[in-house]
Each structure stands twice: as C-alpha cells, then as structure tokens.
Structure 1
Amino acid sequence: MGSGNARLEAALGYSRAGWNVVPLSGKRPMVPWARYQKTRVIEAEIRDWWARWPDANVGVVTGAISGLVVLDVDGEEGFRALSEQGLAVPSTLTSKTGGGGFHHLFRHPGGGQTIRSFVRKLPGLDLRGDGGIIVVPPSVHPNGTPYKWANDERIADPPAWLLELAHEVERAPVTPADWACDVERGGRNAHLTRLAGSLMVRMSRNEAMQVLMAWNLAKCKPPLTEAEVEVIVDSIANREAAKPDPTPHVEAAAGAAGEGKRRPGQFRVMGFAEALDQYGLGEVDWAIDGWLPAKTVGLVVAPPGTYKTWLLLNLALAVSTGKPFLGHYPVNRSGPVLVIQQEDPFPMLFGRLTTMMGIGPATVTRAEDTFGSNEDVYEVPIPPPPPDILWHPDRSLSFERPESVAGLREVVEQCRPVLVIMDPLYSMGSTDDYMAKTAQSMLVLKQLRDEYGCSFMIAHHTSKSKEGGTGREQAWGSQFLNAWLETGWQVRSTDNDKTILVRRHSKLVPPMEPIRISFDITPWEFKATVEGAADTPEDRIQEAMALGRQFKSINALASYIGCSKSTAHDLIQRMGLTKNDAGYYGV
C-alpha cells in the first residue's frame, strides 16, 4: 500500500532501480551526502527522511554509485552549442527541468572509471558525473515549475564526444604554445573557452573580451563572430562570478520568474521565503559534534608548544577516515581533506600521522611453542588503509597573489574536500595593520565555502599564555580576524605541560564549556584524554540538545548515544523528556 506521498514513492522507486537518492531543499541536500557517493542508501533511511521532510525534493547522486552520468543542457544556449559543434545527443531517458533545461541520463561506463563533472565546457552544457547530484521528478523548482519526465526511453550509453569532454585535462595550465597555435573549425569554441578561463581569473570581462577578439581574428580559421566570442566570455564570467557546486543554487532573483540567465556582475537578491528555505529553520549541521560545524570558516589560535599541530592532524585524520576526533567525538561528515602546511617539516608531520594511525615497528616477545622450546614471536602492525588526505607540497599559497588564490579555487573545485586545513596564517598573508588586509583577502574562503560546501580551519599563532590569561580579541589575533571567523578554537597551556585547555566558539550556538585535553604520546602511540566532555548517556543527551540536535524516535536517540532501545526509553523517563509540537524529544 502506498504512502500517499508522491515524492517518497518516487524516491523508493528510484532506489529500487539502483539509484542513490537524497532529500533536497530546493536543489540543496538536506543531509550530509558525501557518504552516499560510495555507500548505498537503504529504504529505512529514505522513509525516515521523507517522514521528517514530506515536501522534500528528490535528488539522485550521479556517478558509478547510481550507474549514471547526466548531460545538463541549459535551454537555448545549450542547444545552440550542440548545433554549432555538430554534437548529436542519442535517444535516452530525459527529464525536463523546472528551470527550462533538459537532463539526458546515460549509463555510467563503469569498470573503475571516474567520470568527473564539468561546468560549461561548452556554453550551456554541464555534466554530472561521479560526485554530482541532480534533481528529478516529481520535484518542484524554486520558481514553482515541476520537473517532469520528457520520455520513457531506455538509458543509453553516453556518446563518445561527451566522454572525450569529460576526460579532457581541463585544468592543465595554458602555455605559450596554446596562444601561438592556429585553431581550425571544430576546436575553436573549446580552445577559446580555455583561454578565457585563464584570463578571467586576473582581468575584467571587457579586458578579456578585447584580448580574445584579437586572438580569434588572428588564429581561428575561420574566426568566430564577435557575438560567438561574447557568448564564451559571458559563460566564463558567469562561472567565475558564481561557480555552482554539485547542487547549484537558484540564480533567478525573487519574483523574476522567466527573467533569464544571470548576468556577469549581477547583484543577486532572494525573496524571504526562498532565503528562509535555503538558510533558515534548520538545526546546526555538525561535521564533528561541538567542534566543527559543516561549511564553516575558522581559526585554531594557539601559542607555541600547545599541541596545535597534533590537534589539526588528528582533525584531518578523523574527517578523512570517519573515525572519532580525539577518539571521542563522532564524525558526521567525512570525506577528502586538503592540508596546506607551510611551516613544519613534512617528515615530522607524517611521523605524527603514522603515530596516530598506530603504525609502529615490529615487537619481539619470547613464547613457548607446543614442543616446549622458546622462540621469538614477531608482531608486525598491519597499516590501515591510507586516509583520504591531500597535500600541497610547494608551500606557495598566498592570499595576496591572485594566481595563487585562483590555483586554490581550481584544486577545491576538482577535489571537493570536506575540510581544508591551513597552517600557519602568517605564511599566507600580511601581518601589517593588525592583519586587516589579510582578513579582507580571506573572504574568498567564504565564497569557496558557499560554492563547494567545504570548511576551512586555519592555524594562527599567538604569544604564549596560560589558562585565563587574556580576552577573546587578543586570542583571535585582531579585531578583523575576530569579525571574519565563524568558528574558533582558543588553545591555552596549563601548569601541566601535557595538558591544554580549549575554548570553543561558534556563531551558531551559545558559548560552550571549555575542554581540557591531556596527551600521552610515545613514538608509536597517541592517546588523548578529554576532561569536561559528555561521558555519561545523560551528559551526551544534554550536550546533543544544547548543540541543536533533535531526535524524533527512541531508535534515533539510542543510535546517537550508543545504547539499547530499552536503555534509551529509561533515559527518556528518567530525564523527563517529552515530544515538542514538532514531534521531537526535548527537555
């Protein structure tokens, strides 16, 4: 018997057909979805999601997990690019999007191949491959238009030209040879698009247009028209102004249905309902409970000798593997971590990582075998799978050099890290004028956070001080950095040189209690003992609710605190928890 909810039934049907589904608010996932790029969603999760959000749109995770790659043809611009390039789209299952475009679904090649998503390799043409997501019927676009299936064709293999575009080395740097060569018909658009991308990270749209028109007249055989070059330049300008993440945000201004594409330099606005839908009325989405909100920018502020690097490396290891942070705090959002370390020796960093991973030397013990003789017994630690940590080996990031920031943007776009760790701040920006210029330059990290959904945590040095020594402004480094950050960890030394005090700050929640962390580190073992954290089930429930977590069922509560359903039921009775008007347990 059906549920009566068309979107839930559609989601269940898609899942049974082998597609991984997630709930969407508009076009944005309502749950941490990186894990579903590799892990199958189960029916119980789907039913729970649509019980909580019955009006949620239905998203399908593209790539090998669902066996899909999807060509997104963006209206007239996309059809014109297909026509000009002579590119045929085979008959395949197709949906009409609420924004007026079309999603052409193709079979993923499989065989271990990774098909990377791309945005506007040609004007109006995007590809959603591994790590992408699309909105599917019967979802409704923010403009009120429903998504609909345009046909019921069988899913076809992708055309060769689409796979060629996907496999192009899109981000290879433009070289002098690229400027010197002549380009024949059939390659002009793609070549000009690459040149435009290299120019518009450092010059205005009009300047780039002048350079490319001159090059087009000299090198394209025959030249494109000025209007055609303008389409390419505008498409890159749009991309640079607002590069979409795998779940692109709404580009139309409120109340401007059918107004057309976003223009370069357009100052966007949203209506209250749309903004509330995208940003409001949601619980805090913690990547690590109490420590790291998802999609945040923050500082780890610490004087020398206070285990700052150990903390950040353990953070990288936790997020990249999904194992608890400091052995205590659960990780709710795991995935790739990008580390930009511009201070400490790499051998030292990797030595600390292997210590935390438990990779040590062989140990030798004497044991008596079954025949009564003593023999040496060797125990060799088996290394775990390598964590998904990416390293920047060149130590060259500077917020003051546009080409350096552009390089960071390219890496974030390609690798889609969940977390980027930068250490230390002084190596990346000017310390003049209380770091006012650096704080302004670092606003680009908030743009990257908004576009790609990642978090940034930056290490910042302060002078050595002990617990209770200074106020918050001195701790964060300057009034400008204080205004910039959204999350902060203030680390202080204590009278015990193996214990630190950490004060955590987030603009999303009220002040949190300080945490004492004691470290026991040998060359082959890392142990952190946390004092002040929630240690009993009651403490865990109180801490979770203080952080904005909500539980709709006894099962959900039991799963979170790691106990049986009967124990959770006893806790609810003992603590006097009742359901609120929305159906969630609270004090």
Structure 2
Amino acid sequence: MSRYKKFAEQLFANGWDITPLRGKIPILTGWQNRPETALQFDKFSDANIGIVCGGKHNVIAVDIDVLSETVAGIISTITEDMLGIAPERIGAAPKTLFVYRCTAAISKMKTSIYDIGGGDACVEILAEGQQFVASGIHPNTGKSYRWPGDSLLNYTPEALTAVTPEELEQFVAACNLTLADSGELKARSQTNNNIVHLDTGKPNFEFQENDPTTSTAKLRAAMDFISNDDLHYDDWARLAHAFKAAVGPGGIDLFHEFSAKSSKYEAVETDRLWNSIETVTKIGAGSLYHLAAEQGFDVANWDTERNFGPEDIAESPTSGGDTTPLAEHDGSFTAASVRGPIAPRQWVLDGWFPARTVAMLFGAGGVGKTLMMQQLANCVAQGKPFMGIETMEMPVLSVMCEDDAEEVKRRQLNINEWMGVDEFGEGPEDLHLWPRVGDDNVLVTWPNGGKDEPGAFYEQLCAKVAAVKGDADSVLVILDTAADMFGGNENERRTVNTFLKTYLGSICINFNATVILLAHPSLSGLKSSSSNSPPTGLSGSTAWENSVRARAYLAREADSDDIRILSRKKSNYSDISGDSDIKLIWENGVLVIPSSPDALARINATALKHAIIAEVDIAWWREKNAFRKQGPRGYKTALPRMLKQHKPGAVIKAFHSLVADGNIVHVERFGFKTEKAI
C-alpha cells in the first residue's frame, strides 16, 4: 500500500488537513484552499504527505531552520520551555520542527536571518497558507522524515498544546536574541501582522496596512532613502510585494531602478520575481515609507521643496493655452539666430580628449595609466605634442590617490629626461602634482542611499583647481582614480550620473576645466577582450560611458610585458573608425613610441608571433594542410614561404617559442593547431 493511501487517509480521519507533496513542494494547484482532490488517496502513490497549517484548528508549526547543532539545541529547549511539549519532526538534523495550535488565527512570523556556521539560520512560525512535510523522503538527505517521540498519527489537532499570539510574540523575540548572540545579521525580522517588536537596536520592517497605494513621485523620493547595498533575498522579495501593492503592475521599472542599486542585481531574476507576485495584502506604500523614514525621509513634508513635476502640469498657468514663458533668458535660442563663423572645437589632446568636458581613461592596475597621464600632463603644461599628437597648453592639476610623493618625484625625473630636460633643468612650473595616498578623497556620498552629499574633499579640490588655474583661460584636472573619489554604487545609474555630470561637470563649468578621470575596469570589462582587441573597460552601470564625452583604454599587448596599446573607445566629437590605436613600449621608466632598434625588435617579434598563429589557424581548417603534408617538420618549409617578409630563421625561432609555451601543439596525423591565444 502506498504511503499516501495508508497514512494520509489516517491523518485526515484524525482531523488534519492534508495535501500531496513532491519532496517539499505541493503537487496540487490551489492546495491552500484544501481541494477535495487531496483526498484521492490512490491517485498520488508514494507522494510525500503535507499538513496544511491554519484551518479551523489554527495549526501552527515552529520550524527551527538552524544548521548549528548547539544553537538548534538551545532553541529547541526555548521552544518547549516557552510554548510547552509538542510532537517533534526531524528532516535534516539538527534542523527540527514542533507542531502546536494557536488560540487565534495568525499569519506567519519569522525571526531575522543570521549567518551561523556558514549558513542562513532563522526560526519561522508556519501558519495559514503554509504547510510542512509530515511523512515521506527528505529531498536532500534521501532519508525518511521521523518523529522521535509521539507520531503525529497519535494526535488530533485538538490534542495539540495551545499557544496564544502573545506567547508567540515573546517566543520569536527570544529566538531573535539567541540567534543574534550566535551569528551575524543578514536580513531583518519580518512579519505580516506587525506584532513582533524587538529591543535589539535593529528595528523591524513593521509593515503597515494603511496607505497601500501611492504616487510614483512620492515613492521615488522615498526610494532614495532605502538602502539596497546587500539585502537578503527574503527582504528583497518582501519589498517587491510592497512595491507592487504601492504602484501596481506598471511599477516594474521603478522596482528595477531600486533593485539595480545592488551589486547582485539581475534583470531576468527581477522580472521573474515581479511577475510571480499576484495578490498582495497587508503591505504596500506605508511599509516602504516606514523604512525610508527610519533613514531620514520626511513622509509628511517630502514635497515641500519639490521641483515642478508632471503631476503639476494641469495646475500650471501655461497649461490652458497660455504660452507665456515660465522664465526668460534660460539659455535657449532658435536655429535662425545662429550666425557663423563659430570658433573651432578645442582639444586638450587632439582627437582624443575635448576641452571643457569630462573624459575617462580605463586601464587595469599596474598597466601604467598613472604614468601615461603624468606624461600627458607635462606635455599639456608646456603645449608640447604627446606621442606625436598636438596638445592645448594650459595649467594642469594632477590628483594622485594611489602614489606617495617619493614615487611621483621618481616618475617625474624619468619624464624630465624623456622631455629633454637635463640634470640642471626643471619640469614645467604650470604642472601641479598632488599625491594624496591615505587621505580622504571622496568627492560625494549618498548617506543611506538618499540625497547626494559632497565629501569634505570636494571643497578642497575646487579651491585647488581655482588656485592652479589662476588667471589662465583653462585648466586640465586629472583625477586618479574613480575608486577613491566616487562614494556611491557603481552599478546605479543615478549616482554615477550625479558624480560625473553634477560634481565633475560643475568643475568643468565653473573653472573652464577639462577633467580626465582614471578608472580600473570591472571584471566583466576585463573579460570583454579578445585576442585581437583590448577590453572595453566598462565597470558597473553603462552611465560610466554614456555620461562622458570621450573614453580611452590602456592595455598590455598579449604576450608582452613591455608593449602597451592606447585605444580610443569613445569620442563624441571625432572619428574613431579605422586604426587609431597607439602602440607604446616601456623604456627607461616611461612609455614611448618605439623608435630604438631594441624596441622595434620587440615589437616585430610580437607581431611575428601573431602572424604565425594566424597562419597555423588557417592551415588547420584547410583540407590540404601545409604543416601536415610533410609530417611534423613540414613547418620549416611552409612557414617561411608563407611569411616571406620575415627572415626564415626568425620565423622558425618564433614558432619553436610558441610550441614551448603551449600556444601551438602538434596533433598526430593532423598537423599543428593553435591551442591558446597569446
């Protein structure tokens, strides 16, 4: 006889609400409504048996989801001390569950979630709308669930120990304190009914039933105050319910905007969660406003100083056909008013970095971007060409957050020699080098995820830019690096835009400055490279690219520690098609365009290896493989013939080097093939 036929029928006869399960998952749609299909005992063969909580007996279960044997034991003792004796069920020990009945109907309760023993730990009161496994095979252990004391078959729901909602409040509070003493908080306490209040210094969500809906403008204002740096999944899912209740199904874009504040954001998972939410009760806008208020949001006076918005159009004096302008001299003009000639566009570095804009240079750590920018700074300060490209002369301020003064000075002496300054000469007077390693260099922060707040360094930087500029028309400001100066979430478009356009942009406007910001690429930016192109360098939100006028990338060339490639990735005001890359080489402490015999030889050696790789790749896919035709040694004839522009000896030597390094391997009877790129 099947388990479900034998035991589910007995449990139902004893007054339990039962439902068939596959593992821990209910098989029937709408199982919470106790469909009669669950009573077709022959239909579900060896399905696990679930007990539906709630119902006319208000059945509840205390689910102790704790992996630490010690902590689970303590909470089990607290359970029986505070709530009384109850049948106990064990699935994957030391996790355990006790069954009671409540004197009143309640919704589920749950403690905060803590990291204990390397896993999530919490205690949950299962109630109406939930179920637990009473009999069957545990999906993880492969073993049967067991009842070490009395079996549930020996109980009717009326015979269970009765507990009150108030006793459950006190119990959940005690469990919270025990878990807090044993681990680190990962997600805050949650309850549907607002009845758990803990004096732990960490307030609950206290989700409110009133004000379930709201305006998008008010919710967006509150959203800026709700942190989403590292929310636990349960908290994030709970907030999704609140968002959907507050603004309806059409609010998915707003929830995406909130979710994108987290480094764990995934658009597909956000869509899946949102679409899985159907009816939402007892949670909504009030819940979100409560969270925001905890972080300083003024719920009552949120729009006291609010700017004119879409909802104000109907009340606007210009909405009824009145075409009187809201403001005069706002900077707009008609196309008919434009007369030539217009002054030509100015470039700090011709074709690369336009004047009076924000630009970015990406590069992995240690690639030499700080050195290259110091070289550019020397050229701009004297109006001399940089790597053969014209520059615009102006004072320069270079803020260096990763190097101390001694390192900057050593680098400057190497640059002096590169610039042709002898031992008695000096570097440019108009170049101001400002090493700030170890200092607070943050320009802007967003306390609690709310409104932007200037860092103390922003005022210092503005004062320094003004001093360096003096009476000059323009100034170049180099900031190294974004990681030291940006105090927000790099994945959040709003904060990235504010940093680049408002804070760095204000420096451009107020001081007629050009700002070049240095940044490290993200891991995804590094992975975007191929054997033929350097990485894109983008990190976090695409706003890093969209908010600047130009973007360049400095990368090592494959198979070379000395060679660098400087690439234009974006330039709004110049053509980046074709081969605009600049090949540089590390020589005498600076980056230079190869010109010495030794430098050119290194460049040519790398180019030759790339050419050999290409020829081997082509030959491998041909039916008549030139390297297979004459056996393993055929390459000695075939390669020099294919690469006639190189000396045969150099070709064979480079080929042997690639084989030794594992880039090229020989496959018996098939010839040579490329194993890995260089």
Pairwise same-fold verdict (TM > 0.5): no
TM-score, normalized by length of structure 1? 0.38
- Which structure has more relative contact order (CA 8 Å, sep 6+)? It is 1
